[in-house]
Amino acid sequence: MSKLTADTQANLELFVSETQETKLVWGLRNEEGWLACDSSEFENSEVMPFWSSKEDAQTHNVEEWADFEVLEIPLDIFVEDWLLTLAEDGVLVGVN
């Protein structure tokens, strides 16, 4: 059962605590690459979503995202490589 709520701050705190514990981040990827979508809050911005648990990532692996595979990313690689590259590319990070 998902621990996610409508409270974005609580979801952020859950993301931080769970990824620190498991040392894993979860994302969705298909043959074209990692899932990214338009931001609903920031015009002309792209968001790449990540989750702190495989189960929560799987709940989003439906409908238009059904052809994506749920994959893990080691936390150290996510922090040291992914976040820097996404920031350089101007891509926002969406968590949980």
Tell me if 73 sits within 8 A of 24, measured CB to CB.
yes
Most distant CA pair in the chain, distance: 35
Sequence ranges of the domains in the chain: 27-95
At 23-45, the pLDDT tens digits run 999 999 999 999 999 988 888 89
pLDDT at residue 5 is higher than 90: no
Q: Label residue 36 exposed, middle or buried (CB < 10 Å: 0-12, 13-18, 19+).
A: middle
